[in-house]
Amino acid sequence: MNQITAAAAARAQAAPPQVSRREVPPAAPSRPGPRRDARGRIVNAMTVDVEDWFQVQALSAHVDRDSWDLQNRRVERNTDRILALFAEEGVSATFFTLGWVAERHPLLIRRIVDAGHELASHGLAHVPVHAQSADAFRRDIRHAKALLEDTGGVAVHGYRAATFSIGSRTPWAHQVLAEEGHSYSSSINPIRHDLYGAPDAPRFPHCPREAPDGFWEVPMTTVQVRGRNLPCAGGGFFRLLPYAVFRAGLRRVNLGEERPAVFYFHPWEVDPGQPRIAGLPWRSAFRHTVNLGRTEARLKRLLRDFAWDRMDRVHPGLVPADG
């Protein structure tokens, strides 16, 4: 066990922090105004959810977990393509990575860290939080954090739940994350969706009232139209919508609301040659494959049209000063 993991274990054994019940305005952590680049553009958070094509929720009913090690693993080559793209465009990002991936591809984790990106946790094996008990969730995030820290040689502060599965069904989740050494989460998508969503949640970074003081939730970006939150954070919506529509939404958040956005995508989304599963329901197949062949070109435009950086630098208050 290295020093980082030992420290994390010591934190887990300590008494839990006192829970804050106060309402916190949805303001960016520790900074009165958004960070801007040399051109005066607001700097947004670029994030990657590092998982393989067969681990996504849309395929969970059709790919048995016991078969994962038998599947055609493509996460390493696809993530390397992303690392090369980011290097070409001079972009740093936060990589929310499965412990399952770190265990099987340790050199990939080192390349992510050595390239100057933030390493964060996506849990152990892409199990939705609401499908676990609080104790099972604790074991999951503890194991994932230890794997990532041992492999990457850096402290892991951030966490993103599988399928944005923190919400009203899991009021204990933020508290457990804080007790296990995480200082922020990016696990809530404040939209209506058949698989996830918390449309009544704050749209911008905030301290959840169930969490200790100093623990932050950074929701996925939305735009408000006639009182309704519409998605503007990436994933399938980025592949489905015309690029001009998506760009207009991000500009509205940056210029109209003067807020930094959070964008996310997955390594499998730059891989149109990935295997296909026969017999999928049309909705699952559509969600997973729509416009895969166009994603990389759209990403290149996005990286040039907006300013991007890692989550912990866009919102420096997310990570403790001694972290």
> Which helix (H) or strand (E) segment is 158 a member of?
strand 158-159
Reply yes or no on whether the pLDDT at 30 is more than 80: no
Give 58's DSSP letter.
Answer: G
Reply yes or no on whether the pLDDT at 97 is more than 60: yes
Average pLDDT over the chain reads 88
pLDDT at 228: 87
pLDDT at 193: 58
Report the percent of the chain where pLDDT is more than 70.
87
104-134 burial code (b ≥16 CB/10 A, e <16): ebeebbebbbeeebbbbbbbbbbbbbbebee
Give the C-alpha distances (Å, rounded to integers) separating 88 from 82, 126, 190, 234, 235: 10, 30, 32, 21, 22
Report the percent of the chain where pLDDT is more than 90.
72
> Which helix (H) or strand (E) segment is 49 a member of?
strand 43-50
pLDDT at 323: 62
- Token pair 């106060």 in the structure block, residue: 22
Q: Is 145 exposed, middle or buried, given 0-12, 13-18 or 19+ CB atoms closer than 10 A? A: buried
Identity of residue 43:
V
Q: Dig out the tokens for 89 from the structure.
A: 């465009």
pTM, two decimals, is 0.89
pLDDT digits (tens, 9 = 90+) for 57-95: 889 889 999 999 999 999 999 999 999 999 999 999 999
150 vs 1: CA distance, rounded Å: 8
Q: Which domains does the chain have, with CATH numbers?
A: 3-14+41-318 (3.20.20.370)
209-224 burial code (b ≥16 CB/10 A, e <16): ebbbeebbbbbbbbbe
Spatial contact of 215 and 54, defined as CB atoms under 8 Å apart: no
Q: Dig out the tokens for 206 from the structure.
A: 């905030």
- Helix H, strand E, coil C: the string for 19-48 is ECCCCCCCCCCCCCCCCECCCCCEEEEEEE
Reply yes or no on whether the pLDDT at 6 is more than 90: no
Mean pLDDT value of segment 190-205: 73
Q: What is the largest CA-CA distance in the chain?
A: 53
